[in-house]
A and B are shown apart, each in its own frame.
Chain A
Amino acid sequence: KAGVTQTPRYLIKTRGQQVTLSCSPISGHRSVSWYQQTPGQGLQFLFEYFSETQRNKGNFPGRFSGRQFSNSRSEMNVSTLELGDSALYLCASSLEASFDEQFFGPGTRLTVL
């Protein structure tokens, strides 16, 4: 079974731009969660999608948004990028809920200049 994939793997953007990251979950997995990982801050939860609906949301500003498609693939968008948005963005898929075993993707490394 293919693992979770994320594209692109690396991104360099400048302040004020926007970015879209993509996540393809394991086949059959319906829950997709997104995390921001920075040194010392661990895994900060962004949001979780299930059946094309946002089920949970973390404490991030409205510049961070996401969506899920009918095939469970998910995208997240960050608008008006700030320097502090530089991080590794991980998505994780699980069968039905975030408390099922989560399978993480390799992440997208975003650098904002």
Chain B
Amino acid sequence: GENVEQHPSTLSVQEGDSAVIKCTYSDSASNYFPWYKQELGKRPQLIIDIRSNVGEKKDQRIAVTLNKTAKHFSLHITETQPEDSAVYFCAAVNTGTASKLTFGTGTRLQVTL
């Protein structure tokens, strides 16, 4: 089955700096890669996703890039703000087989003032 590794497990940046979280996946058939954000004490929520026919997707201050050859994808947050502090989870799935969504172990991002 699919295996997703996520790095780093914790990340501390100063407000205004950029943050990058990286994930690798094992199943070359995976074609959908969502990112979920979980603020402290709250439930995870989808923030951005990318499909394998696209190399990059951007939504305001967040962007995701995908390298299918290397089987890795990354979340980029620019101009970080305190409200970006949360745990971020990447995930991967092969939508053609109705497989389960496999999550990474999460990255705790702390944005300091």
Contacts and interface: CB of A to CB of B under 8 A. Distances in A.
A74 to B, nearest CB: 15
A58 B6 CA distance: 19
Given A40-B105, A41-B105, A99 B46 contact: no
B98 A42 contact: no
B43 A107 contact: yes
B43 A48 contact: no
Contacts of B32: 99
A104 B101 contact: no
B99 interface: yes
Indicate the size class of the contact surface on chain A.
Answer: 20 to 34
Interface size class of B (residues with CB under 8 A): 20 to 34
Contacts of A33: 100-101
Contacts of A55: 98
Contact of B44 (A45, A90, A97, A98): A90
Given A41-B105, A42-B89, A43-B89, A106 B43 contact: yes
B18 interface: no
B17 to A, nearest CB: 25
B89 A102 contact: no
B101 A45 contact: yes
Contacts of B44: 43, 90, 92, 102, 104
Contacts of B93: 98-99
A106 to B, nearest CB: 6
Contact of B103 (A42, A48, A56, A99): A42
A66 interface: no
Interface in A90-111: 90, 92, 97-99, 101-102, 104-107
Given A102-B46, A104-B43, A43 B103 contact: yes
B72 to A, nearest CB: 17
Nearest to B87: A42
Interface of A: 33, 35, 40-43, 45, 48, 55-56, 58, 90, 92, 97-99, 101-102, 104-107
